[in-house]
Amino acid sequence: MAKRSDMDHGLLLLIVAILAWIVPGGGHFFIKEKKRAAIIFVTITLTFAVGLYIGSVGVIDPPGAWPWYIGQMLTTPGVSLLANIKQMDPNGEMVGIVSYGNPHDYGQIYTAIAGALNLLAILSAVYMAHSGRGEMIGSEEDE
């Protein structure tokens, strides 16, 4: 296998990082760490979904709780779409979904922790791509 140039290597790491951010586990899948990718995808997606189920979509509140929103955005950029979901109030006007109290707090914690875990997964995927571990283990698994 030809040795990659520094630029190619940097581009590979960037692609792995972006894929890992867009879809949890996507970076590991790209470097052929399929088992790891599946575990990360299922766990982070479930954690985020449980957070939304507990506190509703109202836990994603960029203007009201932007530090939490940063954590939530680490899960996937698709979170920004959820922040724009609105529902019709009794007056027929479209308003943002809100939640309060314990469910709101628990939902925020779950969704932000899902983001923090995805940050860990992004760093892991980039490190594995940098060290060539993913390709090595992936080629062994494929044989």
Partner 1 sequence: MNSISIILAGFMSPIDIPTSPASMLWMFPLILSIAIVYKATKLRVIFPKIFIKEVVVLFLTISIFLILAGVGLNILVAFITS
Give the binding site for partner 1 (CB under 8 A): 35-36, 39-40, 43-44, 46-47, 50, 52-58, 87, 97, 99-104, 106-107, 109-110, 113-114, 117, 120-121, 123-124, 133, 137
Nearer to partner 1, 16 or 117 (CB): 117
Instruction: Give least dist CB 133 to partner 1, A.
Output: 8
88 strand-pairing partners: 94
Q: Could you tell me the smallest distance in angstroms from the CB atom of residue 35 to partner 1? A: 5
Give me the least distance between CB of 42 and partner 1, in Å please: 9
Distances (CA, A) of 52 to 69, 107, 131, 134: 13, 6, 36, 32
Nearer to partner 1, 4 or 35 (CB): 35
Q: In angstroms, what is the minimal distance from the CB of 7 to partner 1?
A: 27
Contact in structure between 62 and 74 (CB atoms under 8 Å): no
Residue 107 CA to residue 115 CA, distance in Å, equals: 12
Using an 8 Å Cβ cutoff, are 118 and 111 in contact? no
* Cα–Cα dist 120/140, whole Å: 25
